Structure 1
Amino acid sequence: MKKHIPLKKFSQNFLIDSHIITKIVELINPKSNEALVEIGPGLAALTKPICKLIDELIIIEIDKCLLERLKKHSFYSKLIVFHKDALKVDYLELFNKKNKLIRIFGNLPYNVSTSLILYLFKKIKIIKDMNFMLQKEVAQRLIASPGSKLYGRLSIIAQYYCNIKILLHVSPKCFRPVPKVDSIFVSLIPYTDYFPYFTHNIKVLSYITNLAFQKRRKILRHSLGKIFSEKVLITLNINPRLRPENISILQYCQLSNYMIENNIYQKYIFV
């Protein structure tokens, strides 16, 4: 089979380490009765071994050349193929076709991983779990705690929705071409029974965190000053002189709920 030349515009780094591939398949632990969706199958490093364990796999691949390569494999008959940008796929349609929660996995391109994860959170009610290979810094941002330089809007929204676990650290040597950064394989499991955080409306929480972290070096009194007076922040037991990275997820939820309960969110956001 002709060698595939990785395309920079799709940020392609293909997993080639057989030990890591085996470990990832074990961690995903696919079952035949599940609705599995792979984003970016690439050269089929995960696709091939997973197809040995299940009868059907939905794949989303933007690169037409890679789809042509997949057609030459014996397991192709097990694939339901979407030649699309993963950010433009109707995941609700996939859920409705299977009538069951979907499991999503993949080696995500570094250039779209954050926007794709945030996009998938909007579909969280139809997702059973997500297992992704990510750039190390993105994975660390997902699990970052208040006070960390990596703690930000992604940390808050991700931890609001999911229990996140780092499953595997992966060296650049496990990919071709070799990336300049380390990678981490993570699991994101949406909360279903126990919810550690609560806001009346996630759009308001998203708006507040976006506003705060746009000016992350400024103290809250300035970055959120157009919404919350210093007096309100003190009333909510939030120090107005702290920076956005020093405020907990619970406190951001508190701010969100204050906006909603006092009917002031409508000035700033369409809900």
Structure 2
Amino acid sequence: MSLQNLPPLREALAEHGLLARKSFGQHFLLDLNITRKIARLAGPLEGQTVIEVGPGPGGLTRALLEAGAQVIAVEMDPRFIELLGELAQAAEGRLTIVEGDALKVDEAALTGGAPAHLVSNLPYNVGTPLLIKWLTGPFRPTSMTLMFQKEVADRIAAPVGGDAYGRLAVISQAICEAKVVMDLPPRAFTPPPKVSSAVVRLDPLPNPPAPALVKALENVTGAAFGQRRKMLRSSLKVLGGEALCVKAGIDPGARAETVDVAGFLRLAAALAS
């Protein structure tokens, strides 16, 4: 069997008696027109290694394989391993299935140290922790094209001063260029979630901050946005407060949502030094 004559996804799910599990945050993308568009937004992928988290029945996996990618699929739900195995047979060696928890997986070990893209319709309940892992951990993806709840996607790409601007925006945009590239309504999924979804494209900046600076940035943003209505002299008191702000050239009377990414990087540099 080849990729071209695989049975429709709904038919494959029915044959295996598979339904989405709410406890795993599962909502399946079965429309191959949508999954192919996501693959194009992540591309070009011909000959590229792609890590996909939470493939489920393999709708996005099929599109990535059609685009010519070498796919490593990390699936925590053992119910889908057999179905994905059938897809692997059709993929002629271009699909590797890893059964495990993506929060604990060593991505560099999966790829043998080779560069890789991350393309996933992420389970809602672990989307943000996974993104933080990939932004701040040792593995450096070539790019990330990831689906989240719309609210989370907006927080990742939020501009300074907006209601959605916060810790996630600062950390994401300090390390990557982040842009919402596609919106999806609940009806695009099976079963439909109660919220809309969106795809975010994240491309690493040419000169991302060093790991020590990223760690300091996590500490500064955690304190600043943990008490976002307070002035920085108060919210950052445990880290140096007014003295830290002055050292970084930031107004101690400012509030977190008014400080841009560059300002937070200066605060992080002041803290790290």
TM over 0.5: yes
Query: 8 Å contact 1:124–1:190 — kept in the other structure?
Result: no
User: Aligned pair 1:48/2:36, yes or no?
Assistant: no
How far residue 155 of structure 1 moved from its aligned partner, in angstroms, is: 0.6
User: Aligned pair 1:115/2:119, yes or no?
Assistant: no
| 1:264 aligned partner | none
Structure 1 letter corresponding to 2:118: I
| 1:267 aligned partner | none
Instruction: Find 2:215's aligned residue among 171, 189, 203.
Output: 203
Q: Which has the larger share of helix? A: 2
Query: 8 Å contact 2:231–2:254 — kept in the other structure?
Result: yes
Query: 8 Å contact 2:84–2:97 — kept in the other structure?
Result: no
| 1:186 aligned partner | 200
Question: Separation in 2 of the partners of 1:146 and 1:172?
Answer: 28
Question: Separation in 2 of the partners of 1:199 and 1:6?
Answer: 38
| 1:80 aligned partner | 96
Structure 2 letter corresponding to 1:190: P
Instruction: Find 1:18's aligned residue among 19, 28, 32.
Output: 32
| 1:240 aligned partner | 252
Question: Separation in 1 of the partners of 2:145 and 2:138?
Answer: 14
User: Aligned pair 1:171/2:185, yes or no?
Assistant: yes
Structure 1 letter corresponding to 2:90: F
Tell me the secondary structure at the aligned position of residue 126 of structure 1: coil
| 1:62 aligned partner | 76
User: Aligned pair 1:250/2:259, yes or no?
Assistant: no
Structure 1 letter corresponding to 2:99: H
Q: 1:229 to 1:121 in 2, by over 3 A?
A: closer
How far residue 153 of structure 1 moved from its aligned partner, in angstroms, is: 1.0
TM-score normalized with structure 1 length: 0.86
Structure 1 letter corresponding to 2:263: Q
Question: Separation in 1 of the partners of 2:241 and 2:63?
Answer: 57
Structure 2 letter corresponding to 1:43: P
Instruction: Find 2:109's aligned residue among 81, 93, 101.
Output: 93
Q: 1:176 to 1:55 in 2, by over 3 A?
A: closer
| 2:172 aligned partner | 158
Question: Separation in 2 of the partners of 1:172 and 1:186?
Answer: 17
| 1:224 aligned partner | 236
Instruction: Find 1:126's aligned residue among 132, 140, 144.
Output: 140
Deviations 1:173-226 (A, max 9, x none): 10011011111111111113x55x789621111111111111122221211123
Question: Separation in 2 of the partners of 1:22 and 1:108?
Answer: 16
Structure 2 letter corresponding to 1:109: P
How far residue 13 of structure 1 moved from its aligned partner, in angstroms, is: 0.3
Deviations 1:212-266 (A, max 9, x none): 11112222121112333435534644222222111111111111222233xxxxx
TM-score normalized with structure 2 length: 0.86
Provide the aligned length of Structure 1 versus Structure 2: 257
Q: 1:199 to 1:234 in 2, by over 3 A?
A: farther
Query: 8 Å contact 2:52–2:73 — kept in the other structure?
Result: yes
How far residue 27 of structure 1 moved from its aligned partner, in angstroms, is: 1.8
Q: CA RMSD in A?
A: 2.2
Structure 2 letter corresponding to 1:203: K
